[in-house]
Homo-oligomer: A and B are copies of this chain.
Amino acid sequence: MSTTLLLLVIEIIGTIAFAISGIRLAAAKRFDWFGAYVVGLVTAIGGGTLRDILLDAPPFWMVNSWYVSVTGLSLLWVILFRKQLVRLNSTFFIFDTIGLGLFVVIGIQKTLMFGYPMWVAIIMGTITGALGGVIRDILINEVPLIFRKDVYATACIAGGLIYWLALETGMSPAVQQISCAMTVIIVRLLAAKYKWQIPELAKQENEENNNNVRNE
C-alpha cells in the first residue's frame, strides 16, 4: 500500500519534470501558454500513448485525469516562478532521471502483461521513457536531441537488459523492477557527469548527392 503510494508520488514527480522540460523548451521558442501546455503534456504522456496504441490498450491518460491536471499545474508553476527555475536545473535533472527510470519499468511491465516477449518490452520501455522528448522536439521544429546526445535512450535500453537478466535469473518482481530503474538512473547520471557520448556516424563528403540519387 505505502509502496503503491510511493510509486504514485514518483510517477507524479516524473510527469511534472517531463512536462516542465517541454514547457521550458516551448517558452524558448516563444510559444504562448496553450502551446507550452500542449508541448509539456506531449512530453509527459507522448511515449506512454504510443506504447498503449501499439499494445492496443486504452491510452493511460484517458482513464485517469491527473496527468492532464498535473501538467496544468506545471504550466502555472513555470508562469509564476519562471525566473527562479534556473537555480533548480540540477533538481529538475534528478527528478527527470528518476521519472525516466520509473517510466521504463512501467512500460516494460505493461508490455509483458500483454504477453509480448522481453525484446518487445525493452523497446516499449524505451519508447515510454524517450519518445515524449522526441515528439516535443518535432513540435518545436528541432532535430530530436536524443539522436545526437542519446545516452538518454541508451540508459533506458540498459535498464531493460538488466530487467531481462533479473527475470531470467529468477529474481523477484521487486528486484527486477528496482534493478532496472536504478540502472537507468545510474547510467544517465554517470553519462551526464562524464559526458559519455555514443560515436557519430562519419559523414561522407558526397552524402547529399547520394540522397538525391536515392530520391530521384
A62 to B68, Cβ gap below 8 A?
Answer: no
Answer yes or no: A11 CB below 8 A from chain B CBs.
no
Within 8 Å of chain B (Cβ to Cβ): is A175? no
- A86: chain B residues at CB < 8 Å are 204, 206, 210
| A39 / chain B contacts, CB cutoff of 8 Å | 147
Whether A168 is near chain B, meaning CB under 8 Å from some CB there, is no
- What secondary structure prevails in chain A residues at the interface with B? helix
Return chain B residues, CB-CB under 8 Å to A142.
141
Q: How many residues on A have C-beta within 8 angstroms of the other chain's C-beta atoms?
A: 78
The residue that A96 contacts in the complex, of B79, B96, B116, B214, with Cβ under 8 A, is B214
Question: Quick check: A203 and B28 within 8 Å, CB to CB?
Answer: yes
A186 within 8 A of B: no
Question: Which chain A residues (9-44) contact chain B, with CB distance < 8 Å?
Answer: 21, 23-36, 38-39
Q: Does A102 belong to the interface (CB within 8 Å)? A: no
**Which candidate, A159-167, A177-185, A191-199, is the interface stretch facing chain B?**
A191-199
Report yes or no: A197 in contact with B27, Cβ–Cβ below 8 A.
no
Instruction: Take A202-B27, A214-B92, A214-B93 as given contacts and tell me if A34 and B153 are in contact as well, using a CB distance cutoff of 8 Å.
Output: yes
Interface residues of A (CB under 8 A from B): 21, 23-36, 38-39, 49, 53-54, 56, 58-59, 62, 65, 68, 78-79, 82-83, 85-86, 89-90, 92-93, 96, 116-117, 119-120, 123, 134, 138-150, 152-154, 192, 195, 197-204, 206-208, 210-211, 213-216
